[in-house]
Amino acid sequence: MLTALSRENVVAEIERAGVVAVIRTKNEAAIRAIVDAVIAGGVRILEITMTVPGAAALIKELSDDLGNTCILGAGTVIDKDSAKRVIEAGASFVVSPTYDPQVVSLCHNHKIAVIPGCFSPTEIFSAWKAGADIVKVFPAGNAGPQYLRDLKGPLPQIKLMPTGGVTIENSSTWIRAGAVAIGVGTALLDPKAIADGDYLRLTTNARQLRESIDAARAETKAG
């Protein structure tokens, strides 16, 4: 893991990559194969959710093993005690499904990037004012890319990362709508492929996702 990166640099790397792989599975034994497959496809910002059995221990193990090949964070962090555990385990960023000011404060005290989940404009703006480095728009699929465009109109300064309902097929639409990055789970980490041990499918998905994001950014820049 890129342990030398500052909080600001971690945020910059997430923006540069444009995608966070959300790893949520009950198959703890498959985690390393999943991680290796996604990295091979060019997606190197990885979020291990706290719903994965032994998540904190896995983050510690992966942090020690992966070196400079990825940036590893923790997801589904819902309270400050969980945040403290994953930070001590080596997480470079913390993602929550909701906005908890105490989690934001704790992460910043430890110089760790924090991405709380919000949905309404009031929640999003409150989290941003409290110091959220990026705001996760969740569940994004319930609103669609037009909602992101509508938010960016009056709130252009807020860095938004839609998560939930984001797919390979619609990833470019979210980027064109103004997302600094997208969080992708099932669409990238196909449960059937994992159950079948078809990790090449995950690598292919990651590569296609990476290509879609790059194309959307090139189009936006050109146009």
Catalytic residues: 47, 136
Secondary structure (DSSP) of the chain: --TT--HHHHHHHHHHH-EEEEE--S-GGGHHHHHHHHHHTT--EEEEETTSTTHHHHHHHHHHHHGGG-EEEEE---SHHHHHHHHHHT-SEEE-SS--HHHHHHHHHTT-EEE-EE-SHHHHHHHHHTT-SSEEETTGGGT-HHHHHHHHTT-TTS-EEEBSS--TTTHHHHHHHT-S-EEESTTTS-HHHHHHT-HHHHHHHHHHHHHHHHHHHHHHHH-
Region of residue 53 (phi > 0: left; psi between -120 and 50: alpha; otherwise: beta):
beta
d(CA 65, CA 89): 13
N-terminal to C-terminal alpha carbon distance within the chain:
36
Tell me whether the omega of the peptide bond preceding residue 139 falls within 30 degrees of 0, making it cis.
yes
